[in-house]
Amino acid sequence: MRVVLAPMEGVLDHLMRDLLTKIGGYDLCITEFVRVVDQLISDRAFFRYCPELKNANAYGCTTEAGTPVRVQLLGQNPECMADNAAKVIELGSHGVDINFGCPSKMVNNNRGGAILLKDPENLYQIVSAIKKSVPEGAIVSAKIRLGFEDKSLAIENAQAVESAGAHELTVHARTKVEGYRPPAHWQWIAKIKQSINIPVIANGDIFNYSDAQQCRETSGCKDIMVGRGALMLPNLAQVIKQIAPVLPWDEVQKLLLDYSRCETYGDKSKYYPNRIKQWLKYLKLQYFEADALFQEIRTLKTAQAIINKL
């Protein structure tokens, strides 16, 4: 079984990837999506989303803990997506992932993410162009939802991705319109898995060991992807694999302090307070102590003031 760390825009960035993979249990990380419009993206921009590329070697880029990192691209133009996919492979990414699932209204209004699930042929053209542009052996993967407004094209979309040459497919078990509202429809992932021959990774509402087991049984998938659950329970991958118990709160507190020591974008005094408060909102769903801590720091505006409380 593989446990993959999901991309979450503005949340699961390289700092969080580094922190969580040092805990252990994750087999692969997918970056936040890099938006592709109509031109080749600069090295500098790719390094901003995926600093791990700076240290890529013959085995590709990894977090400090050695977990492979795969860059995710989002866009609608097959040729431009293909050019950027070739570049990111050249820079050292462990394959390239294609985002066909982002539910953001802004992204969808610009013909990116989940809106493309209305057009299986466009999915095929994008994946096919990327597959042809990258070296043989480079992994091409994609992530979809069950559809945009409904699930009527779920299987056709998955088959389009497979027939275009993708090596694996991640399925978030909701439509765009369903957003993140429970439940996740794992049974639909099973239907998709039965309709294609490439590996399928199940995603959606996996927050603990029991969820993971039920998801795997219902979907028929061996591998799973976690996102929000990893923020709620930092050692979720270890718990799912039964190699460690739930991390106690005092260890989580140490992680919060470790996060404060990370190199950040620009001014830590602005970056850290926003991110730590955001993380505590997830943690309080698993740890009651996180809610009490959030109440103590929610009005604090500087990194040092928050660190003093921790």
Residues with catalytic annotation?
102
- DSSP assignment of 40-93 equals PPPHHHHHHH-GGGGG-BTTB-B-TT--BEEEEEE-S-HHHHHHHHHHHHHHT-
Residues 6+ apart with CB under 8 A from 152: none
The letter for the amino acid at 124 is Y
Judged by DSSP in three states, 243 sits in coil
Residue 105: which residues within 8 A CB-CB, separation 6 or more?
none
CB-side exposure of 248: number of CA atoms within 13 Å? Answer: 2
DSSP, res 111: T
